[in-house]
Structure 1
């Protein structure tokens, strides 16, 4: 296990909100010993004492219930190196030390090539690892160029292209539920499953992230990486093992099987929108175009929806809907697997047999199964729901992610060809949107999103939204 971690971009929001609390969780769980060393590298003209004070402040603010002695141990393990990441001398100074080092690039992706080159030229110790946050490139050509550079400089096994969604407990339970349960695996196919919704709707608006978000938008920020990764886990064939080679190979197979959208498909099966002024809870939300730091001329979307199909034996005929939006009425973060309805109901039954829906809650984490049962009146159908609470994970997503990096387990990181295939899937959408073939719709902040559009896809998505509303209403108690 590597005991040295260097973070470039060590005073940024990612480090403060996620990486430092993750390190504290690792320490509290006994995964980090007294020999662990943290080096923060950034442009601020600080010394190590000032950085330790900043680390302590951020852990107090974002570290939750982490014990005070644990927070102190992480702060005491830290030192600071003022560094210009474009300067090879500064980069070499930051990683100087004995033994292998894990280098976390908490930086804008545009800086990855110059920093990786500087790391290579500085002579990374054998066994070192480099961590790259998403997005991996800005488009397919950029991802291919970045991968070519990385292949020339760093062994693939030393690269961790991380996506913290893959480290979420419920995300991993998608695999466990379908692969380890005989009741599910035989029906995990298009014969029984009509549609899969992979949804990340949030009430959160821009919240000061214009500098990043306005150059990216919802499609690149969420769909191209996080939601496509969830698609892979839902749709992949059972791997021989959960080792990195078998698991990654099956994920790439899924992405390769995605049927590329034509221009007509993009117009019919995708949507984009941005929010107007509105109110969420007790807060008035300005229009996205009026948010500080936003350039309205970019026409950046805050809502994206894409329908995909897979050309494979298992999934022919199943619709996969990927959707994300900001400043919406309610948080909905889940994978919803909607089964086909039964072919026949006994005579004399009143009411409708709604499709069974298996829901993997992502945030909060949980599991629910929507069923149809008999109500209090004889021969009357009524919706039922079975729910299960997940045990709190030992580590949060970023804690699990960092542990995999330090121990050298790349199974839940993203291989270079996988990153490229994800861009391939969405390239037709990006091209059509850039040409304005799909209108940029609008929706009030605090609403359910853009108004339903009859011609979108096959119209089925509107019905599943209705089912979700049904799932949120009180249900008949079940055993």
Structure 2
């Protein structure tokens, strides 16, 4: 296990909200020893004491549910180096020390190439590892270039392109539900499954993140990485083991099977929109274009929807819809697997057989199976739901990711070819959007998103189902 962690971008939001609380959780669970060290590197003109004071404050704010002694131990283990991440001399000082180091680039993606180049020139101790956040590159060309830079720095096994979604309990339970239960795997195919909705709708608006979000947008921020990763776990063939090679090979197979969208497909099967002023609960939300730090001329989307099909024996004929939006009226974060209807109902006309839908709740984590059962009368039908709640995990998602990094287990990180395949899938969408072939729609903050499209009865019905499911359970 590596006992040194260097964080570049050490005073940023990611470090404050996730990385240090994750380290406190690891310490509380006994995963970090007394010799573990953290070096924070950023542009602020601070010293060790000033940084430890900042770390202590962030742990109190974001990691208050962890024991005080664990938080204090993590703060005491930190030191600080003022550094320009593109300067090899500064970088060399930040990673200096005995033994290998795990380098976490908690930076805007645009800085990754320069930071990796500086690390290469500075040199890393044998056995070191490097961690990069999403999105990996800004397009397919950028991802390939970054992969080449990383290959010159460390072996592929030492590169951790992390996605904290993969460490969520329910996300991992997608595999558990499929592969450990005979009742599901035989029907986990297009013969029985009509559609899969992978949704991350949130009531949160921009929340002061314009510097990052207005250069990325919903498609790159969520769909290109998080939602495509969920697609891989839902659609992959059963791996021989859950080891790094078997698991990641099967994920790449899914991405390679995605049918690329034509220009016409992009117009019909993708949507983009941004929110207008509105109310979410009791708070007023300004229009995205009026948020501090936003450049309206960029026409950045806060809502993205993409419908994909897979050219594979298992999934030919099943539609996969990936959707995400900000400033919506309801949080809906789930994978919803919609099964095809039964071929015959011997119940006359009393009641309606609702679609069977297996829902993997992402936040909050849980599992729900919507079925149809017998109603008040023997020949009538009524909805029935079976619900399971997950036990709270011992470690937060970032804690599990960091533990994998320190232990050198890359199974749940993204391999280089996988990152490139994900960009390949969305390149036609990006091209169509850049050419304005797909209009930038608008929706009021606090609504269900842009209204259902008016064309095509089949498409209208699918949209209506999706928007109905976005409503709170009591309103359905």
TM-score when normalising by structure 1: 0.97
Equivalent positions of 1:234-273 (< 5 A) are 234-273=234-273
The answer to whether the aligner puts 1:376 opposite 2:376 as a matched pair is yes
Distance 1:35 1:258 in 2: 46
The aligned counterpart of 1:88 is 88
3-state SS, counterpart of residue 194 of structure 2: strand
- Residue 301 of structure 2 contacts residue 440 of structure 2 at CA under 8 Å; is this kept in 1? yes
Assess, with a 3 A threshold, how the Cα gap between structure 1 residues 140 and 11 changes in structure 2: closer, same or farther. same
> What does residue 332 of structure 1 align with?
332
* Partner residue in 2 for 1:107: 107
2:322 maps to 1:322: yes
C-alpha distance in 1 between matches for 2:194 and 2:309: 11
- Residue 445 of structure 2 corresponds to which residue in structure 1? 445
Give CA deviations for 1:78-98 in whole Å, capped at 9, x if unaligned.
Answer: 011111111111100011110
Aligned partner of 2:163 in structure 1 is 163
Where does structure 2 lack aligned partners over 5 or more consecutive residues?
Answer: none
Matching of residues 458-469 of structure 1 within 5 Å: 458-465=459-466, 468=469
Q: 2:37 matched to 1:56?
A: no
Equivalent position SS for 1:458: helix
Deviations 1:246-280 (A, max 9, x none): 10000000000000000000000011111011000
Q: 1:470 to 1:291 in 2, by over 3 A?
A: closer
Q: Distance in 2 between matches of 1:148 and 1:353?
A: 53
Tell me what 2:23 maps to. Answer: 23
Written as runs of structure 1 = structure 2, the 5 A alignment for 1:204-215 is 204-215=204-215
Any conservation in 2 of the 1:371–1:384 contact (CA below 8 Å)?
yes
> Offset at 1:349?
4.6
Contact in 2 for aligned 1:370/1:471 (Cα 8 Å): no
Deviation at 1:465, TM superposition (A): 2.4
Rounded Cα–Cα distance in structure 1 between residues aligned with 2:16 and 2:408:
24
Name the SS of the counterpart of 1:306 in structure 2. Answer: strand
| Cα gap change, 1:288 to 1:212, in 2 (>3 Å) | same
1:4, 1:410 → 2: CA distance?
A: 18
Distance in 2 separating the partners of 1:461 and 1:4: 50
Residue 427 of structure 2 aligns with which residue?
427
Per-residue Cα deviation, 1:414-452 (whole angstroms, up to 9, x for no partner):
001100000000000000000000111100000000011
| 5+ residue gaps, structure 1 | none
For the 8 Å contact 1:268–1:455, the answer to whether it is kept is no
**C-alpha separation in 1, matches of 2:236 and 2:132:** 24
Count of residues paired in the alignment: 475
What are the residue-to-residue correspondences of 1:15-414 with 2, within 5 Å?
Answer: 15-414=15-414
Aligned equivalents of 1:42, 1:296: Cα separation in 2: 30
Q: Deviations over 1:125-183 (max 9, x none)?
A: 11110001111110111111111222223211111011111111100000110011000
Closer, same or farther: CA 224–466 of 1 in aligned 2, 3 Å: closer
| 3-state SS of paired residue (2:195) | strand
Deviation for aligned residue 1:21? 0.2
Question: What secondary structure, in the 3-state scheme, does the structure 2 residue paired with 1:134 have?
Answer: coil
Distance 1:125 1:54 in 2: 29
Cα distance between partner residues in 1 of 2:224 and 2:50 = 38
Q: Residue 225 and residue 98 in structure 1: after superposition, are their counterparts in 2 closer, same or farther (change >3 A)?
A: same
Structure 1 81/69 Cα, relative in aligned 2: closer, same or farther at 3 Å? Answer: same
Contact 1:349 1:381 in 2 (8 A): no
Inter-partner Cα distance in structure 2 for 1:367 and 1:438: 35
* SS of the residue 1:205 aligns to: coil
| SS of equivalent to 1:153 | coil
Superimposed CA distance per residue, residues 306-344 of structure 1 (whole angstroms, 9 cap, x where no aligned partner): 100000000000000000000000000000000001110
Cα deviation for residue 108 of structure 1 reads 1.3
How far apart in 2 are the matches of 1:452 and 1:468?
13
The C-alpha deviation readout for 1:188-241, integer Å capped at 9, x for no partner, is: 000000000000000000000111111111001000000000000000000011
Offset, 1:16 = 0.2
> Structure 1 residue runs of 4+, over 6 Å off?
none
Relative to 1, partners in 2 of residues 1:467 and 1:275: Cα closer, same or farther, differing over 3 Å? closer
Q: Distance in 2 between matches of 1:115 and 1:169?
A: 32
Give yes or no for contact 2:92–2:122 (8 Å, CA) kept in 1: yes
CA contact (8 A) 2:350 2:380 kept: yes
Q: CA 1:471/1:446 → structure 2, altered by over 3 Å: closer, same or farther? A: closer
Counterpart Cα distance in 2 of 1:415 and 1:365: 26
Give the direction of change, closer, same or farther, for the CA distance of 1:64–1:460 in structure 2 (3 Å limit): farther
Determine helix, strand or coil for the equivalent of 2:152: helix
CA distance in 1 between partners of 2:290 and 2:467 (Å): 32
